[in-house]
Amino acid sequence: MKRSLFGRRSSSSDDFDAFDDDDLSVAPQDLREPEHSMHVSRRLSNDAPLSSEGQLPVDVFQTPSDIVVRAFVAGVPAAELNLSISRDMVEISGARAEHEQVSDHDFFTRELFWGSFTRSIMLPQEIDVDSASATSRDGLLTIVLPKLDKARQTKLRVKAG
């Protein structure tokens, strides 16, 4: 009678050998992936449809008074970056133009993204849109978004009219 793994582990009987029923006939080479699996996965990834727009990786962090967004936009002139800012969202878009045409079969590695990109970032709190600023230096876009102080109060005088 074949006992379960739990039964074998919890048994206190000395006359039972836990390895008697185990099937050790599988050779180590049978446990490896088929040799063609790498080629299949590479072929499948190349056959996958490519998105027409790329994603722009960003860092978003806060200081006591600002929310800061940073993104690498190397190869995109500052004048060709489009920024759209609302109180709770930032959208960055643009395009990287490839300067020379290289045929696909001449590439050894192809990791750079060429073409249009867009990124929408939901902000963790509301910001002052009118005081926001953006700079681009050495391919790094930095957007500084001053936080709105919701606790700030202003006294209004009532005019007699």
Rg (CA), the chain: 30
Residue burial 130-147, b: 16+ Cβ < 10 Å; e: rest? eebebebeeeebebbbbb
The CATH classification of domain 58-146, taken from the options 2.60.40.790, 2.40.30.110, 3.40.50.300, 1.10.3720.10: 2.60.40.790
CA dihedral sign, ordered 9, 11, 17, 20: negative
In sequence order, what are the residues at sequence separation of 6 or more whose Cβ sits closer than 8 angstroms to the Cβ of residue 55? 117, 119
pTM of the model: 0.60
Is the distance from CB of 95 to CB of 80 less than 8 angstroms? yes
Range list for CATH 2.60.40.790 in the chain: 58-146
Q: In a structure prediction context, what are the per-residue pLDDT tens digits for the chain, which is 161 residues long? A: 566 655 555 555 555 555 555 555 544 444 444 443 333 323 333 433 445 567 788 999 999 999 999 999 988 889 899 999 999 999 999 988 877 788 888 888 877 778 899 999 999 999 999 999 999 999 999 999 999 877 676 777 888 87
HSE-up of 20 (CA within 13 Å, CB side)? Answer: 9
